[in-house]
Structure 1
Amino acid sequence: MKKLLQTTGITLALCLGCTLATQAQSKTKPATKKAPSAKAQEAPKQQELTDMSQMKTYYMALLKKGPYQPTDTAEVNTIQRGHMAHIRKMAAEGKLVMAGPFLDNGELRGIFIFDVATLEEAKALTEADPAVKAGKLIMELHPWMSQRGTTLP
């Protein structure tokens, strides 16, 4: 029994000594990094390709304050009702993904984000808006890319 306790004590002392030595080495020597394998180097590239395949081109219309700003309340209301009806129609057809006004009353008045095949189609939809037709709004169109299926909370 005495011999077993001595052997166990020596074994524990050796294990403790090895653990302390290993900890001391890891504190004094900087860890060396292995060069990434070819497979690991391909992973970011593959991820990048996957991410791009999840991207889709939309068309964004920036709606700006136009040259004609009616002062007659009835006319303003008529143009606004037509504008909102046009927005609802485009949304119901699945062509308008998102729309909304800017709230700071600046030159930039709102946006349309279209899910259509071409810039020309987005232009035609924007030009058909009663507020654009009246000159109350003017548009600036840009192709815009976003991840498919992205939604706002």
Structure 2
Amino acid sequence: MKHSALFILFALLSLPVFAQEADSTAQPETFEYEWAGEKFTMQKYFIVFLKSGPERSRTEEEAMKLQQEHLAYLGGLYEEGIINLNGPSGGESDIRGFSVYNVATIEQAREYAENDPMVKAGRLAVEVHPWWLAKGSGVK
């Protein structure tokens, strides 16, 4: 009985480890949809809003260096196919820009977004939401 209890405890404690490994190879959720006689595969993407962060006090030189690192980071994610759309927003809103992440989970999108040098420095903060879109569609 004691061995059974230890085995069950070990199995339960191991679940998060196995779940994390499965996430690294997980595919985004999809479903089939028909509209106006045409079939589409809908996919769950994650839209990340980049908002003004709490740490806005930087010298102009520091801000420019962070901006270059930020653009290089996001450009690299785009090249890898992790980000599908990316860009700044206009106006005076707290939302400074957004990115559409092509990953399987909201946790993956948040992790990538929080590794942005601007977010790490506190100049930007992230807000992540799931977003369904026809797979392969573009802006027209």
Q: Same fold (TM over 0.5)?
A: yes
What TM-score, normalized to structure 1?
0.65
Larger radius of gyration: 1
Q: Which has the higher strand share?
A: 2
Which stretches of structure 1, 4 residues or more, deviate above 6 A after TM superposition?
A: none
Deviation at 1:47, TM superposition (A): 3.7
Deviation at 1:52, TM superposition (A): 7.8
- What are the residue-to-residue correspondences of 1:2-151 with 2, within 5 Å? 47=34, 54-151=41-138
Equivalent-residue separation in structure 1 for 2:103 and 2:88 (angstroms): 21
Residue by residue over 1:121-151, the C-alpha shift from the partner in whole angstroms, topping out at 9 and shown as x without a partner, is 1111001100000000000101100111111
In the alignment, residue 138 of structure 1 is paired with which amino acid? A
Q: Unmatched 5+ residue regions in structure 2?
A: 1-32
Q: Unmatched 5+ residue regions in structure 1?
A: 1-45
Q: Which has the higher helix share?
A: 1
Moved more, 130-139 or 52-61: 52-61
Deviation at 1:105, TM superposition (A): 2.9
Percent of residue pairs identical: 32
User: Match of 2:133, SS?
Assistant: strand
Paired position in structure 2 for 1:21: none
- Cα gap change, 1:58 to 1:71, in 2 (>3 Å): same
Paired position in structure 2 for 1:42: none
What TM-score, normalized to structure 2?
0.70
Equivalent-residue separation in structure 1 for 2:94 and 2:41 (angstroms): 34
Question: How many residue pairs are counted as aligned between the two chains?
Answer: 107
Equivalent-residue separation in structure 1 for 2:98 and 2:78 (angstroms): 13
